């Protein structure tokens, strides 16, 4: 059987890391696409030349021609620009919205059967726009944010409890931004929910609250340290986890920005929710029950995402 084909739209920091991870894990042949002259070709060749030492069999190529992503099984989208000083949120929205239009049209034309994972920010609005521009089925287009936000939460919790992060599960829902909702009640160590661990004296509520806030600020913490860009190792790893779940039909339970229509009281919008990812893409949205306080935080996050989507429609009337 031929190897799966993985198209990476955007060959910047995350795109290059995605390509390297996909190769090392032998998930399939990789095509790196970017508009920057030579960048995708250079990174593809560099990664291919790591193959003999690493011992992977995967073809690597770089391109600026959408025709080369033809028939891709997975497309991971990082194309776009990050916010620069002096640029408003609407400026960024306008630029990346145009990028999503060209990417969506390219995918629709050349890889209409792909499972598409969007990473470009502002995430929840961009994945919605990408789906609108591509016209692909909703279950085949999703956004990566929840896996990363949950991984950050799990990392901080594992450090606090001095246990293996393999035994820490966590759920972070809602939009990817200041309003994200880390759910302590659904986060566990060895199956023991976090509120019980506070009662057992493993940590204090104050420390847990600080970890939750650090999770919300996780992206900004890395930007503050790097100064010239944003996180890329953990974002790439998170998207690869989702791609692998699809390619290997793993039926993984993963939080992602999915199209929610009916569950959680929502009618047809993209936002971070728990899902099952397998060969059918986003196969199920898990309709969890939230208590009053959790619901209020989630509603606040949903409202923030709706505001971004409305701003997109204001910029590009064809999306209305």
Q: Which residues are annotated as a binding site for substrate?
A: 83, 89, 121, 152
Cβ(168)–Cβ(188) under 8 Å?
A: yes
Cβ(241)–Cβ(268) under 8 Å?
A: no
301 binds ligand A3D (CB under 6 A): no
Q: What angle do CA 133, 274, 259 make, to 5 degrees?
A: 20
Order of all β-strands in the sheet with 60-63: 60-63, 29-33, 5-9, 74-77, 115-118, 141-143, 252-261, 267-278, 281-285
How far is Cα 288 from Cα 298, in angstroms, rounded to an integer? 12
Candidates 4, 28, 80, 281; binder of ligand A3D (CB under 6 A) is 80
Which of 163, 222 has the CB closer to ligand A3D? 222
304 binds ligand A3D (CB under 6 A): no
Q: Near ligand A3D by CB under 6 A, which window of 5-13, 242-250, 265-273, 311-319?
A: 5-13
Kindly name the residue from 20, 155, 176, 259 that is annotated as catalytic.
Answer: 176
272 binds ligand A3D (CB under 6 A): no
Is residue 176 annotated as part of the catalytic site, yes or no? Answer: yes
Beta strand 181-189 with 192-193 is antiparallel
Candidates 75, 148, 245, 271; binder of ligand A3D (CB under 6 A) is 148
Q: Near ligand A3D by CB under 6 A, which window of 47-55, 223-231, 287-295, 303-311?
A: 223-231
As annotated, the binding site includes: 10-15, 34, 83, 89, 96, 119-121, 152
Beta strand 29-33 with 60-63 is parallel
Cβ(213)–Cβ(180) under 8 Å?
A: no
19 binds ligand A3D (CB under 6 A): no
How far is Cα 236 from Cα 241, in angstroms, rounded to an integer? 9
Which residues in the 96-115 window bind ligand A3D by CB under 6 A?
A: 99, 102
H or E segment to which residue 261 belongs: strand 252-261
116 binds ligand A3D (CB under 6 A): no
Candidates 34, 73, 132, 241; binder of ligand A3D (CB under 6 A) is 34
What residue ranges bind ligand A3D (CB under 6 A)? 9-15, 34-36, 39, 78-80, 82, 99, 102, 119-121, 123, 144-145, 148, 176, 229-232, 235
| Residues forming the active site | 176
């Amino acid at each position: 059987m031929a190897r799966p084909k993985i198209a990476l739209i955007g060959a910047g920091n995350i795109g290059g890391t995605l390509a390297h991870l996909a190769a090392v894990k032998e998930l399939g042949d990789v095509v790196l696409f970017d508009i920057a002259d030579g960048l995708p070709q250079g990174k593809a060749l560099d990664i291919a030349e790591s193959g003999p030492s690493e011992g992977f069999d995967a073809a690597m190529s770089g391109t600026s021609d959408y025709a080369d992503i033809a028939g891709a099984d997975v497309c991971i989208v990082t194309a776009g620009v990050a916010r620069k000083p002096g640029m408003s949120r609407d400026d960024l929205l306008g630029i990346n919205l145009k990028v999503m239009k060209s990417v969506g049209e390219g995918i629709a034309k050349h890889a209409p059967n792909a499972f598409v994972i969007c990473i470009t920010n502002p995430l929840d609005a961009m994945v919605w726009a990408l789906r609108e521009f591509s016209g692909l089925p909703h279950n085949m287009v999703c956004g990566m944010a929840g896996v990363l936000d949950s991984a950050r939460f799990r990392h901080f919790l594992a450090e606090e409890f001095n246990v293996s992060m393999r035994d820490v599960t966590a759920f972070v829902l809602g939009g990817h931004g200041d309003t994200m909702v880390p759910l302590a009640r659904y986060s566990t160590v060895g199956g023991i929910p976090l509120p019980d661990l506070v009662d057992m004296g493993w940590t204090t509520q104050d420390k847990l609250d600080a970890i939750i806030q650090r999770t919300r600020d996780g992206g900004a913490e890395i930007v503050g340290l790097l100064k010239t860009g944003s996180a890329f190792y953990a974002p790439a790893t998170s998207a690869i986890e989702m791609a692998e779940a699809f390619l290997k039909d793993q039926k993984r339970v993963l939080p992602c920005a999915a199209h929610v229509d009916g569950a959680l009281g929502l009618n047809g919008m993209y936002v971070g929710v728990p899902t099952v990812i397998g060969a059918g893409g986003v196969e199920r949205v898990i309709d969890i029950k939230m208590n009053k306080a959790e619901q209020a935080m989630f509603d606040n996050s949903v409202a923030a995402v709706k505001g971004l989507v409305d701003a997109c429609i204001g910029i590009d009337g064809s999306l209305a």
